Chains A and B, each alone.
Chain A
Amino acid sequence: MGETPDKARESADFSHRGAVIAAPGLHDWFVREVLPLEAQLMQFLRRTGRNKSDMDDLLQDIYVRVCEAAQKQRPHPVRPFVFAVARNLLIDRARREHIVSIEAVEDLDALNIAMDAPGPDQNVMAREELRRVQAALDRLPPRARQAVILRKVDGLSWREIAAAMGITEKTVNHHITDAMRALADMLYGEPPGSKP
């Protein structure tokens, strides 16, 4: 595998070893085991007093570290490992920012409580899943919501969506990309049944 040191140095993550090629099965494992923990991770990060964009950065770094480790060997059980990664990352940050405060340590202890809490049911019933997706859909901006319905319920092509909504395909693209990001935040980042 060819080394690309320049690219690695430019990017803001931890990959210094050239091209990222995910190990077989890593994607399915990540979707099945790690993403369902996002709501709890976000809850924990919120308690450390971080703002939203700080939390998004931390979450991304947690996922990157988890995947790098899981690339060689899948951790088992998953949840304590993911939270240990979160904890170490926060300690690294605190060290770098020279703000090791008593509050931060307390928050890290609160993490242990989160670890004991029952996790999200991995086999969420299909009906419950549909209800969750609908609830997320209801909270999208009206135009983005309409585009998603035409796409996912009616199965229209982008061109047909543009015609149906009287907008250009470029605007369809705008609505769809917005919807994709908002849906991921709602479906993974928030606990089931949470209200805006």
Chain B
Amino acid sequence: MSAAEEIRAAAAVWLAKRDRGEWSEEDQKALDAWLAESWSHTVAYWRLDAAWNRTDRLGALRQQKIETARPARAPVWPLVFRTAAALGFVAILGFAGTQFLHRQTATTRDYATAIGGRETITFADGSKIELNTDTAIRARMTTAERSIWLTRGEAYFDVKHDPAHPFVVYAAGRRITDLGTKFLVRRNAKTLEVALVKGSVRVGEGGGASRLLKPGDVAVASAESMVITRKSARELANELSWRDGVLVFDNAPLGEVASELNRYNRQKIVIANEDAAKLAVVGSFRTDDVQGFTDIVRAVFKLHVENEGNRIVISR
């Protein structure tokens, strides 16, 4: 073995030990001391760690497959992910013939809400997760590890910080690491949004790099890029108003308001005219009150509202 290979092997032992979990403060101190011994230790460890983080992308395979495996018209999302889904994504990777165990274990649990549903989960460590409408997560909360996969929808995290056990959220192929915090994660069709209310979080970028968010920062990430903008305390509060069962809009186009409400209701609002979709809406609405909303639209904007049962069509 060359000198560099020996150092890489030692770095891999450290990284694996950390990956395994049950990582104590003494372990961290010992690692810090090893890294401080020389730059060659430090760079070898950084390099392996960055490559290992890049394989987090593989988590996207599970999400893709579960979403396509979902029955088209299932009224309620089953709480247990099916083994079929697991076998499906294994096939994607090309490992047909190899048996993989994939089941709910004592330490891994799945939670989901239906359309219009809302649920708060409180974990043994005191951390809380509030699931918004049509949302699914998988939680692995053990003494060693705290990992959450947001498979679909939107969730608000209130995390009890513990440096020895980082709290990590995986969503849309990205990794969000809590550094003591309250934050919102929302999956849209093409983007992932992370809004930081309190504390700090780190959001992973491609290639092992990451960005640190400050309170009020909102990161919007697509598959290719990530943009960070600032929101005022009021804008953030509006964004989180679903936690009280209401949606608050401050000058939002009617089309956007409709698609937001549609997330919460089976009866979908359709805006027939493009110019009607651009009308500005100010106000707050209950997430479950489509009727109340369309009554106001009819009265204020003088629009036609046609209830067709599974949808409500709004037109000029």
Contact = CB atoms under 8 A, between A and B. Distances in A.
Interface of A: 7-8, 11-15, 19-22, 27-28, 30-32, 35-36, 53-54, 56-57, 59-61, 63-64, 67-68, 122-127, 129-130, 133-134, 136-138, 142, 145-146, 148-158, 160, 163-164, 169, 173, 176-178, 180-181, 183-184, 187-188
B102 A129 contact: no
B279 to A, nearest CB: 36
Contacts, number: 202
B206 A123 contact: yes
Interface size class of B (residues with CB under 8 A): 35 or more
Given A11-B38, A148-B55, A60 B7 contact: yes
Query: Which of B36, B43, B59 gathers most chain A CB within 10 Å?
Result: B43
Interface stretch (B139-147, B154-162, B179-187, B262-270): B139-147
B59 A176 contact: no
Given A11-B37, A12-B3, A184-B47, A31 B208 contact: yes
A27 B107 CA distance: 33
A28 B42 contact: no
Given A27-B46, A60-B4, A188-B51, 10 more contacts: A11-B40, A15-B39, A20-B37, A22-B42, A127-B223, A129-B57, A133-B55, A149-B95, A180-B48, A188-B47
Contacts of A12: 3, 40
A67 B39 contact: yes
Nearest to A185: B51
A129 to B, nearest CB: 5
Interface of B: 1-5, 7-9, 12-13, 15-16, 19-21, 35-44, 46-48, 50-52, 54-62, 86, 89-90, 93-95, 98, 100-102, 105, 107-108, 138, 140, 142, 144-145, 147, 149, 170, 173, 206-210, 223-225
Given A123-B224, A157-B21, A20 B47 contact: no
B48 A181 contact: yes
Given A126-B224, A130-B173, A155-B140, A28 B209 contact: yes
B40 A60 contact: yes
B206 A30 contact: no
Contacts of A184: 8, 47-48, 50-52
A22 B37 CA distance: 12
A28 B107 CA distance: 33
B58 A130 contact: yes
Main secondary structure on A side of the interface with B: helix
Given A153-B89, A177-B13, A32 B36 contact: no
Contacts of B2: 53-54, 56-57
B70 to A, nearest CB: 18
B9 A14 contact: no
A69 to B, nearest CB: 11
Contacts of A20: 35-39, 41-42
Contacts of A148: 55, 58
A188 B111 CA distance: 37
B282 to A, nearest CB: 36
5 contacts: A57-B2, A137-B55, A155-B170, A158-B19, A164-B100
Nearest to B147: A155
Most A CB contacts (10 A, CB to CB) among B1, B4, B142 go to B4
A152 B59 contact: yes
A28 to B, nearest CB: 6
Contact of A124 (B38, B46, B138, B207): B207
B16 A180 contact: yes
B57 A126 contact: yes
Nearest to B148: A155
B84 to A, nearest CB: 14
Nearest to B107: A157
Residue with the greatest number of chain A CB neighbours at <10 A, chosen from B19, B56, B145:
B19
A187 B54 contact: yes
A160 B105 contact: yes
Contact of B59 (A8, A14, A153, A156): A153
Contacts of A21: 36
Contacts of A28: 209-210
Contacts of A180: 12, 15-16, 48, 51-52
A31 B173 contact: no
Given A67-B39, A123-B224, A60 B105 contact: no
A59 B4 contact: yes
A188 to B, nearest CB: 6
Contact of B145 (A129, A134, A157): A157
